């Protein structure tokens, strides 16, 4: 418990987290410095694409203020089983954990240490068991949650989302710089919401020497597929995400 990565060397949850994640092969955090850029839809779709291939997949929604993955998957009424920890809820073959399973539709007004404590608690209690990949859906920005994930689970690999907008590009560039400075592994950059030919996301990836893992089109049919995994699988977005999934998992 003297690990310098621990937020508090006396906190026994640090060791519990290591135990809980011991059977997880890879941990992949989906991020992107901007809000509303498709992190939740793409994190959930990646998990679905891998689960469809027969991989054991976990999905942890780390957006405590606005959890979305259970909505995208159309979860209804499930509750994590408890007893010396809690089991993620199995939805569409994905072992899913979210504060939404505990708080329902209630808002979670967390700030400061509460955010870190909620993250520690979720990581310390969830029984993932043997997983090939655990996908983390991060909230917008590279704030407390992302920094805590890097500190608590330094083997986490980051997949960044970008879009061909100068506002987004500038923000993703800062995120890439920060992750690089912190020594966090970066799997690559995915362009989302593509509407026209524009190489700015691919150029950004190249300038940082990270792979460009694919392009996900703007898909006007996506909204009707939210909450309905069967329809989600038929969207253009999902087809593109499936290709990204294959590239990432090899
Ligand atoms: N490629 C796409 N085509 C069409 N709509 C999309 C696409 N990607 C995301 N969206 C839509 O954009 C909205 C935001 O997506 P999402 O919630 O996944 O973003 P986010 O980055 O997780 O947001 P937040 O920062 O709030 O967590 C959703 O309504 C989603 O369905
Ligand atoms: Mg989100």
Q: Determine contact, residues 128/23, Cβ cutoff 8 Å.
A: yes
pLDDT tens by residue, 115-151: 999 999 999 999 999 999 999 999 998 889 999 999 9
Q: Determine contact, residues 161/42, Cβ cutoff 8 Å.
A: yes
In which domain, by residue range, is 201 found? 13-249
- Tell me the pLDDT of the chain averaged across its residues: 92
Q: Which atom, in ligand 1's list, is nearest to the CA of 139?
A: 27
pLDDT tens by residue, 183-214: 999 999 999 999 999 999 999 999 999 999 99
Q: Is residue 1 part of a domain?
A: no
> From the CB of 40, is ligand 1 less than 6 Å away?
yes
Report the residue among 31, 32, 40 best suited for mutation to probe ligand 1: largest number of ligand atoms under 8 A from its CB.
40
CA dist 193 → 115, 126, 172 (Å): 30, 33, 15
Q: Specify the length of the chain in residues.
A: 250
How would residue 7 be classed by pLDDT, with cut points 50, 70 and 90? low
pTM of the model: 0.94
* Total count of domains within the chain: 1
SS3 (DSSP) at 75: coil
> From the CB of 139, is ligand 1 less than 6 Å away?
yes
Cα of 161 to ligand 2 centre, how many Å? 12
pLDDT tens by residue, 76-105: 888 888 878 899 999 999 999 999 998 877
Q: Check which CATH number belongs to the domain holding 190 and give it.
A: 3.40.50.300
Q: Is residue 8 part of a domain?
A: no
């Amino acid at each position: 418990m003297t690990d310098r990565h621990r937020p508090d060397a006396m906190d026994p949850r640090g060791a519990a987290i290591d135990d809980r994640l011991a059977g997880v092969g890879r941990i992949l955090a989906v991020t992107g410095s901007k809000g509303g850029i498709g992190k939740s839809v793409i994190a959930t779709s990646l998990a679905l694409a891998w689960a469809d291939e027969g991989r054991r997949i976990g999905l942890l929604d780390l957006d405590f203020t606005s959890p979305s993955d259970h909505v995208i998957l159309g979860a209804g009424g499930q509750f994590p089983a408890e007893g010396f920890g809690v089991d993620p809820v199995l939805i569409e073959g994905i072992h899913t954990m979210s504060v939404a399973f505990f708080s329902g539709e209630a808002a979670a007004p967390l700030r400061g240490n509460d955010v870190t404590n909620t993250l520690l608690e979720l990581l310390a209690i969830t029984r993932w068991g043997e997983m090939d990949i655990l996908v983390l859906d991060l909230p917008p920005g590279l704030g407390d949650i992302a920094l805590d994930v890097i500190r608590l689970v330094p083997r986490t690999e980051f997949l960044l989302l970008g879009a061909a907008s100068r506002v987004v590009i500038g923000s993703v560039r800062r995120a890439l710089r920060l992750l690089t400075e912190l020594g966090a592994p970066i799997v690559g950059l995915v362009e989302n919401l593509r509407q026209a030919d524009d190489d700015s996301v691919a150029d950004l990836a190249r300038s940082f020497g990270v792979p460009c893992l694919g392009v996900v089109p703007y898909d006007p049919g996506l909204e009707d597929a939210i909450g309905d995994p069967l329809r989600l699988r038929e969207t253009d977005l999902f087809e593109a995400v499936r290709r990204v999934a294959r590239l990432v998992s090899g």
